[in-house]
Amino acid sequence: MLDQLTHSPHFYHYLYLAVAFLAAFNILEVLFLLVHKTRMERNEIRKEALKRRVSTAIVTVTDPAEILPEPSDYVEYAAYSEAISSVLESFEGELAQRASGLVRKLGIDSYYRSMARDAVWYKRASAIDTLSAFRLPHNREFFLAVFRSEASADVRYRIVFGLSLLARGSEDIVAISKALSSLPYLTAKYTEDIFFNIITALKLAGKEEDFGKFLTAIMNDASIRPLIKRDCIAACHAAACERAATVVKRYFLTFKHEPEILIACVRSLVRMGNFDVIHEALFHPDWRVRLTGLKYAHLSKDDLLKDLKRLLHDSNYHIRVNAGQALARLGAPGAQALREAAGADDKFAAEAAAYALTLAEAAR
Amino acid sequence: MNHHIIWAAFAIQHVIFGYFLLINTTYTLLILLALKDILKHSYLSTARSTRRLLVADSYYKPVSVVVPAYNEGPVIVQSVRSLLNLHYPEFEILVISDGSTDDTIETLKKEFRLQESKKPVRLQVPHAPIRAIYVSADYENLIVVDKENGGKADAINAGINVSSYPIFCSIDADSLLEPDALIKSSKLFIEDDELIATGGIVRILNGCTVKDGSVLEIGMPHSTLEAIQVLEYTRAFLSGRTGWNILKSLLIISGAFGVFRKDMVVAINGYRKTVGEDMDLVMRLHRHCKDNKIPYKILFVPDPVCWTQAPFSLKMLLKQRNRWHRGLIDCLITNRKLILNPKYGAVSLLGTSYFVFVEALGPVIELMGYLSIPVLYFWGLLNTKFLLLLVVVAILWGISINIATIFLDTYNYRRYKKNSDILRLCLLAVVEFFGYRQLTLLERVKATFSFRSTQWGAQKRQSIQADAQKSGS
C-alpha cells in the first residue's frame, strides 16, 4: 500500500499540502487562542461591571428600566439575568418587584423564551434555568407549553423544576406531579427538590395545608411510586412543612413494609417535634429504620435505656456503633450502661461501647 | 538473514504508518468531542446550581476523604490543612499512614493534637493490620490511621473500612483540593443515582503560590521539564478523559483525585494491590456492573480541581512514567476479559482497545519505527523524502492537537491568565516533540519488558510551599 502511495505522482503534492495546511493551521490556532482569550476577558470585565450597575440600579432607583440600557448581546443578557436572579434570591418585597419588572420591561424574558426554543438542547436547558430563576408567575403557562413540545428529558427535568418554583395551589401540585410522572425517575434529591420548592412556594402563598391535602390524596394511589411518596415526605422534612404532620404520621402507620418511607417519616416527624415514632422505629426489622431511630433516640420522651442496651448487641455494625453513641447522649445512665457493656463478653458490643465512651470523653 | 531484516523493516513501515494515522485521528476526534462537551458544560455549569446545593442543608451526601500516605512528612500538614478548608457540609478526613518510616505520624500528632480512638473497624475489604486509630482533638472530622505497610491500594482499603460515609474521595497526600472541588464532584451523586464513580481534573502545583494549604496564585513552573507536564496533564484530562467520557468508555479516574460510591467498591472487594490501582479499580467496576447488569455511570468532570506535585527531576519523572506504564499493562492483563469483547460494549471496543493498541503497544511500535530508519538506510532502501515529510506532518499534527488542548483550557477555565504563560504553553507544544517524548518513550519501552515488577519507585517529596517557591523563583 505504501509503495503504491509513494509512487503516485500526486502523493508528495498532497504531503506538501498537508504540511503547509498544518503549519498555517497551527499559526492561526495560536492567534485565535490569544484573540479569543482577550475577548473573553473583556467580556468578563464588561459583564461584571454591568452586573454591578444593574444591582445598584435595582437597589437605588424606583424604576431602574429608565436608567438602564436594553441588553444587546448574550453577555449583556447574562449580566442582567445574573444580577436580577441574585436580587430575587436575596430580597423580597419592593426590591424583588423592581427586579421582576426589569425582566419584562427590558425584554429579558422574551430573549430567554426564544432561546428556550433553540435547536441545541443545552442552550434550551440554560434558558429554562435562567427563566426559572426569575420566578415570574406568567412563565407558568410558557413552561407548560414548552414541556409539551420538548423532546429532551434533560430539558424537561429543568422545566418541571421551574414549574415547582411557581406553584400556587393544589392544581399546580397535581400538574407538576403529572409532569414528573411522565418522566423517568431521576434521583431522590431531584424529586425532593421539586417538592421542597412547592412547599416553599405554598408557604409564601399562605397555602401550606394544600400540601397535606395532596399527601392524603396520593397516599393510597397505586399509580404513584413509593419512591415519590418518600420524596414528598423528605421534602416535608427539608421545608419544615408542619401542617402536614398528621398526614406524615398516618404514612408512618400505614407503610410498615416500606423502610424508605418510614425513614423519611421519622426524620420529618422529629423535625416537627413529634418524637412518638422513635421507639417504634428501634424495633423495625430493617436496620436502616432502626438506625434512623437511634439518631434521634436522645430526643424521645420514652425510657429507651433498655432498648438501646439491647441494640448494642445488634447483628449490624452501624446499629451497634450508633446505639453506643445514642447511649452516650443519654447522660449519666447511658454512660453507666456503656461502661458495663465495655467489659461484657460480647466483643462487638464491648467495642462499640468503648468507642462511644472515648467519643464522649473527647467531646467533654 | 538480510532478506528477513529488510522484510521486517518494510513491514514495520506499514505498522508505523497505520499507528501514526490511528493515534492522531483518535486524538483529533477526542479533541473535537471534548470541545463539544466543554461548550455544553459552559452553558450548564451555572454558579446558581452550586450555590443552591451549598445553602440547602438537605442537598448533600456526607463524604469520607481518604488520604493514603507513605513517608509524606514534608507535605502532610499542608495537605490536611487544605482538606480542612473544603467547603462541604459534612465530611471526614482519613489520613492512612501506610507503615511510614519517617515522621508522618509524629508530625500529625503534634500539629493536630491526635488522641487514640477505639473506633471499631468492619473488615469489608482486605488490608494489612491497623496499629492504631487517632482522632484530632481540634478537628473532630480528622481521623488518622496508623497501619502496617501494604501499599497504596491497601491503605485506601483500610480507609474504606474505617470510613463512616457512603461516598469516599481518594486523594494523594501531595495534592491539594480546591475548596469547592468536593461539592462540585459529589453533587453529581445527588443528581444521578446511577453514578458510581467520578473524578475531577488534576493540575500541576509546581509554580503556584501556596499558603495554608490553599493555592493563592496560579503560575507556570520555570523549569521546562515541569512546564511540559502542565501541557501533558491538560491534554490527558481535558481532551482525553472528556472525550472518553462522551464515548462512555472512561477507564481511568486519577488516583490523585477520585470520588466513589463505597458500596460498589466494597462489592468488588476494594482496591487490588497493583501499581495501577486507580485504573484497575475503574476497569473492575465496569466489569462488575456489566456482568451483573447494573445500570451505572462513571464520569469525568472538568471543573473540580486537584493540584498535585509533578516530578521535578528527570529521574523522578522517568520513575513515574515507568510505574504508570507497568500499571497500565498489569491492568490490561488482569482485566483482559475487556479486550475486544462485545459483551462490554464501548468500554471494551473503544476504551480498552485504545489502551491496548495505542497506549500499551504504542511505545514499542514507535521505537521499532525509529530503529527501522538506520536498517533501511543501511540497505539503501530509505525513502528519505517520504520519511522527512511524514515526520514533519506527524509533528505538526501533534502540535495542533496540543494547541487545541490549550484552547480547551482557555475557553472555559482560564487558570493560566497571563498571555506569556499561554504562549509558553504553545511553545512547549512544539518542544515536547524534541527529546521529551523520546525519553519518556524509552522509559515506557523499558517498563513494557519489566511490567511484572511491583516496585512503586517512591518519589521524593518537598514541602508544598518550598516546592512552589522553588519552581516559581
Residue B25 has pLDDT above 80, yes or no: yes
Residues of A in contact with B31 (CB under 8 A): none
How near does any CA of chain A get to the CA of B386, in Å?
A: 7
How many CB atoms neighbour CB A216 within 10 A?
14
Q: Do residue B403 and residue A126 have CB atoms under 8 angstroms apart?
A: no
User: Burial, B325: exposed, middle or buried (Cβ in 10 Å; 0-12, 13-18, 19+)?
Assistant: buried
CA-based nearest residue to B444, from B326, B340, B312? B326
Best mutation target among B24, B35, B44 (most A Cβ atoms within 10 Å) is: B44
- What span, in angstroms and rounded, lies between the C-alpha atoms of B245 and B299? 6
Most confident of A340-354, B180-194, B279-293: B279-293
Residue B307 has pLDDT above 50, yes or no: yes
pLDDT digits (tens, 9 = 90+) for B378-426: 888 788 888 899 899 999 999 999 999 999 999 877 788 889 999 999 9
Pick B403's closest partner by Cβ from A16, A30, A40: A30
- SS3 string, chain B, reads CHHHHHHHHHHHHHHHHHHHHHHHHHHHHHHHHHHHHHHHHHHHCCHHHHHHHHHCCCCCCCEEEEEEECCCHHHHHHHHHHHHCCCCCCEEEEEEEECCCCCHHHHHHHHHCEEEECCCCCCCCCCCCEEEEEEECCCCCEEEEEECCCCHHHHHHHHHHHCCCCEEEEECCCEEECCCHHHHHHHHHHHCCCEEEEEEEEEECCCCEEECCEEEECCCCCCHHHHHHHHHHHHHHHHHHHHHHHCCCCCCCCCCEEEEEHHHHHHCCCCCCCCCHHHHHHHHHHHHHHHCCCCCEEEEEEEEEEEECCCCCHHHHHHHHHHHHHHHHHHHHHCHHHCCCHHHHHHHHHHHHHHHHHHHCHHHHHHHHHHHHHHHHHCCCCCHHHHHHHHHHHHHHHHHHHHHHHHHHHHHCCCCCCHHHHHHHHHHHHHCCCCHHHHHHHHHHHHHCCCCCCCCCCCCCCCHHHHHHHHHC
A313 touches chain B (CB under 8 A): no
Residues of B in contact with A234 (CB under 8 A): 58
Higher pLDDT, B169 or A171: B169
Name the grid cell of A279.
421507639
- What span, in angstroms and rounded, lies between the C-alpha atoms of B108 and B80? 9
Residues of A in contact with B46 (CB under 8 A): 126, 129
Residues of B in contact with A26 (CB under 8 A): 396, 399-400, 403
pLDDT at B5: 74
Q: Do residue B406 and residue A348 have CB atoms under 8 angstroms apart?
A: no
Residues of B in contact with A362 (CB under 8 A): 115, 117, 135, 137, 140
Amino acid at A21: F
Q: Do residue B414 and residue A192 have CB atoms under 8 angstroms apart?
A: no
B6 touches chain A (CB under 8 A): no
Percent of chain B with pLDDT over 70: 92
pLDDT digits (tens, 9 = 90+) for B330-389: 999 999 999 999 999 999 999 999 999 999 999 999 998 888 888 888 888 788 888 899
Residues of B in contact with A25 (CB under 8 A): 400
Amino acid at B85: N
Q: Do residue B117 and residue A359 have CB atoms under 8 angstroms apart?
A: yes
Phi, psi of A114 (to 5 degrees): -70, -30
pLDDT at B376: 83
How many CB atoms neighbour CB B57 within 10 A?
9
Q: Do residue A320 and residue B120 have CB atoms under 8 angstroms apart?
A: yes
Residue B48 has pLDDT above 60, yes or no: no
A residues 291..310 contacting B (CB < 8 A)? none
- What span, in angstroms and rounded, lies between the C-alpha atoms of B421 and A55? 35
Q: Do residue B191 and residue A187 have CB atoms under 8 angstroms apart?
A: yes
Residue B50 has pLDDT above 50, yes or no: no
Q: Do residue B403 and residue A26 have CB atoms under 8 angstroms apart?
A: yes
pLDDT at A6: 72
CA-based nearest residue to B142, from B169, B118, B163, B167? B163
Residues of B in contact with A40 (CB under 8 A): 410-411, 414
Phi, psi of A134 (to 5 degrees): -75, -25
B residues 408..427 contacting A (CB < 8 A)? 410-411, 414, 419, 422-423, 426
- What span, in angstroms and rounded, lies between the C-alpha atoms of B144 and A169? 52
pLDDT at B54: 43
CB pairs under 8 A between A and B: 121
Q: With bands split at pLDDT 50, 70 and 90, how would you rate the model's confidence at B302?
A: confident
A residues 244..283 contacting B (CB < 8 A)? none
B21 touches chain A (CB under 8 A): no
Computed on alpha carbons and rounded to an integer, the radius of gyration of chain A in Å comes to: 30
How near does any CA of chain B get to the CA of A270, in Å?
A: 15
How near does any CA of chain A get to the CA of B323, in Å?
A: 33
Pick A358's closest partner by Cβ from B14, B56, B118: B118
Amino acid at A249: K
pLDDT at B53: 45
Q: Do residue B122 and residue A317 have CB atoms under 8 angstroms apart?
A: yes
Residue B472 has pLDDT above 60, yes or no: no
pLDDT at B58: 53
Lowest mean pLDDT among A69-73, A236-240, B152-156, B275-279: A236-240
Q: Do residue A33 and residue B422 have CB atoms under 8 angstroms apart?
A: yes
Q: Do residue A6 and residue B383 have CB atoms under 8 angstroms apart?
A: yes
Best mutation target among A189, A190, A263 (most B Cβ atoms within 10 Å) is: A189
Q: Do residue A187 and residue B193 have CB atoms under 8 angstroms apart?
A: yes
Name the grid cell of B128.
494489612
Mean pLDDT, chain B, rounded, equals 89
Higher pLDDT, A2 or B164: B164
Chain A residue at shortest CA distance from B161 = A317
The whole-model pTM stands at 0.86
Chain A residue at shortest CA distance from B11 = A2
pLDDT at A345: 87
Pick B48's closest partner by Cβ from A26, A33, A133: A133
B residues 76..115 contacting A (CB < 8 A)? 115
Chain A residue at shortest CA distance from B116 = A358
pLDDT at A175: 86
- What span, in angstroms and rounded, lies between the C-alpha atoms of A121 and A155? 7
For residue B210, list its beta bridge partners.
B215
pLDDT at B306: 93
- What span, in angstroms and rounded, lies between the C-alpha atoms of B281 and B273? 10
For residue B175, list its beta bridge partners.
B308
pLDDT digits (tens, 9 = 90+) for B84-124: 988 888 899 999 999 999 999 999 999 999 999 988 998 99
Task: Give every residue of chain A whose pLDDT is below 70, as ranges.
Answer: 1-3
pLDDT at B46: 57
B58 touches chain A (CB under 8 A): yes
Q: Do residue A26 and residue B389 have CB atoms under 8 angstroms apart?
A: no
CA-based nearest residue to A356, from A299, A279, A335? A335
Pick B410's closest partner by Cβ from A1, A37, A352: A37
Pick A2's closest partner by Cβ from B13, B59, B116: B13
Q: Do residue A358 and residue B426 have CB atoms under 8 angstroms apart?
A: no
A residues 31..50 contacting B (CB < 8 A)? 32-34, 36-37, 40-41
How near does any CA of chain A get to the CA of B78, in Å?
A: 25
A residues 130..159 contacting B (CB < 8 A)? 133
Best mutation target among A3, A16, A22 (most B Cβ atoms within 10 Å) is: A22
Close Cβ partners of B108 (under 8 Å, ≥ 6 residues apart):
B76, B77, B80, B95, B97, B114, B134, B144
Pairing assessment for the beta strands B167-171 and B209-211 based on DSSP bridges: unpaired
